[in-house]
């Protein structure tokens, strides 16, 4: 019987257990910060001045599905941050609830950039980010480096669909990488919107 060699990455998971434990320890040691965000800050978010792919998650401590998604978003951020993915969480809580928002972010080890509405006028802050936003959370937007919307969803996300969209649009030096993920997610072109 003829042997056909296979070329690819070596995966020795048992050997990597120690490095994974060490990586998790480093994540848990990172400080969790919370900044206040005014209307101008939210407008700037949509412009994406950092020029990285940006995953923006609007949430609140009183929203159960939002809390569930925070862990998925943080895991996604840890998976792709070395490939220029930025995660920004924006709490729609009132400014005087800052302590409880920070406690939740610490519980979720949210080492990403974390913002909190700086005003009780939530309608004005939501409109500053997206005038078409229907004033509910969770609300998720994925922007490419130029600020083009790749994914937008009001309500809970399909995390696998979101990750496929990220992979289909992350810059890559490998020929066919983006096309593979576009085909895998059913994308015909890089700009795909999920949900509404």
Tokens coding 18? 């120690």
pLDDT bracket for residue 195 (50, 70, 90):
very low
Q: Compute the distance between CA of residue 167 and CA of residue 139 in angstroms, rounded to an integer.
A: 20
- Planar angle of CA 131, 44, 52, nearest 5 degrees: 115
User: Which residue is associated with the tokens 């937008």?
Assistant: 152
pLDDT bracket for residue 20 (50, 70, 90):
low
Q: Compute the distance between CA of residue 46 and CA of residue 178 in angstroms, rounded to an integer.
A: 24
Residues whose CB falls within 8 Å of the CB of residue 18, separated by 6 or more in sequence, listed in order: none
**Per-residue b or e along 18-29, where b marks 16 or more CB atoms closer than 10 Å to that residue's CB:** eeeeeeeeeeee
- Identify the pLDDT of residue 11: 60
Residues whose CB falls within 8 Å of the CB of residue 98, separated by 6 or more in sequence, listed in order: 34, 36, 116
Q: What is the pLDDT of residues 153-185, one digit of tens each?
A: 999 999 999 999 999 998 777 767 677 777 765
The pTM is what? 0.80
Residue 15 pLDDT > 70: no
Residue 131 pLDDT > 70: yes
- Identify the pLDDT of residue 189: 43
Residue 180 is inside which H or E element, if any? helix 177-184
Residue 191 pLDDT > 50: no
Q: Is 187 helix (H, G, I), strand (E, B) or coil?
A: coil
């Amino acid at each position: 019987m003829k042997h056909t060699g296979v070329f690819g990455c070596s995966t020795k998971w048992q050997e990597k257990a120690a490095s994974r434990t060490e990586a998790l320890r480093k994540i848990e040691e990172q400080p969790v910060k919370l900044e206040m965000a005014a209307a101008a800050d939210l407008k700037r978010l949509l412009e994406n001045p950092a020029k990285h792919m940006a995953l923006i998650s609007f949430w609140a401590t009183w929203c159960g599905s939002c809390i569930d998604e925070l862990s998925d978003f943080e895991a996604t951020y840890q998976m792709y941050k070395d490939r220029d993915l930025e995660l920004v969480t924006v709490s729609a809580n009132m400014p005087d609830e800052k302590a409880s928002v920070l406690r939740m972010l610490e519980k979720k080890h949210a080492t990403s950039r974390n913002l909190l509405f700086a005003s009780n006028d939530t309608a004005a802050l939501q409109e500053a980010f997206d005038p078409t936003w229907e004033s509910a959370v969770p609300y998720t937007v994925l922007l490419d480096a130029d600020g083009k919307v790749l994914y937008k969803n009001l309500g809970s996300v399909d995390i696998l669909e979101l990750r496929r969209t990220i992979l289909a649009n992350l810059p890559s030096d490998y020929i066919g990488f983006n096309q593979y993920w576009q085909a895998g997610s059913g994308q015909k072109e890089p700009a795909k919107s999920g949900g509404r």
